[in-house]
Amino acid sequence: MDATGSADVRIAGYDFGTSASALSPLTFEELSQVEQTVGWTREDEQLLRKHAGLFRSQAEEMVGAWRAVIGAQPHLSQGFVGPDGRPDEEYKARVKPRFVQWVVDVATRPHDRAWLDYQEEIGLRHTPAKKNRTDGGHTPSLVPMRYLLAFVPVVTDVRPFLSAGIVDAAELEAVQRAWTKAVHLHVTLWCRAYARDGLW
């Protein structure tokens, strides 16, 4: 484990904290203002980290459920389709471990420069600037921003995955609120990659 409690993983294309990651143009003042806007607090950070082990144990199941939603909607699953019109199973397999790791990172990573840079990287990987580049895929070059935003409610309802591990109802609700804020923060930062200069 590293200092954040995240596993020391070797996932293909997981460039967190490396020179392969994009560099975010955002300042920490701008980040702080977005955090304030979503209501993100030190208590939220501590609460997610307290339950990091639970998020880690449930991450794969969470991602499996979310990907099932994607797979059931053609306009969403189009992002994983190859030139032959069929799902690119190799691409899907390569993307999944990073999605699983993202769940763990949300619960454990401090909002430092490496984390901020990697949010820029994730955003770019949904746009023509970097989609397919990491995995050598040939799927459509854009995940429209509207789908990132519209998918937030799917990813924020984590109570079904956590209820067995957090029996206190008040604490479960607090973790749900903290996770929801965290997801909104992440997606907001990813959307910077879509915005014209000065408009984000």
Write the DSSP string, the chain. --TTS------TT--TTSTTS------HHHHHHHHHHHT--HHHHHHHHHTHHHHHHHHHHHHHHHHHHHHT-HHHHGGGB-TTSSB-HHHHHHHHHHHHHHHHHHHH--SSHHHHHHHHHHHHTTSTTTTTTTTT--S-S---HHHHHHTHHHHH--HHHHTTT---HHHHHHHHHHHHHHHHHHHHHHGGGGSPTTT-
For 159-175, how does the pLDDT look when each residue is reduced to its tens digit (9 = 90+)?
999 999 999 999 999 99
> How confident is residue 197, by pLDDT bands cut at 50, 70 and 90?
confident
Determine the pLDDT at residue 132.
Answer: 96
How confident is the model over 55-66, as a mean pLDDT? 98
How confident is the model over 105-109, as a mean pLDDT? 98
Q: Give percent of the chain with pLDDT exceeding 70.
A: 96
Question: Against a cut of 0.85, is the pTM above it?
Answer: yes
> How confident is residue 10, by pLDDT bands cut at 50, 70 and 90?
confident
Determine the pLDDT at residue 9.
Answer: 60
Q: Is pLDDT above 80 for 55?
A: yes
Domain ranges of the chain: 28-194
Q: Would you identify the CATH topology of the domain 28-194? A: Globin-like (1.10.490)
Determine the pLDDT at residue 139.
Answer: 97
> How confident is residue 3, by pLDDT bands cut at 50, 70 and 90?
very low
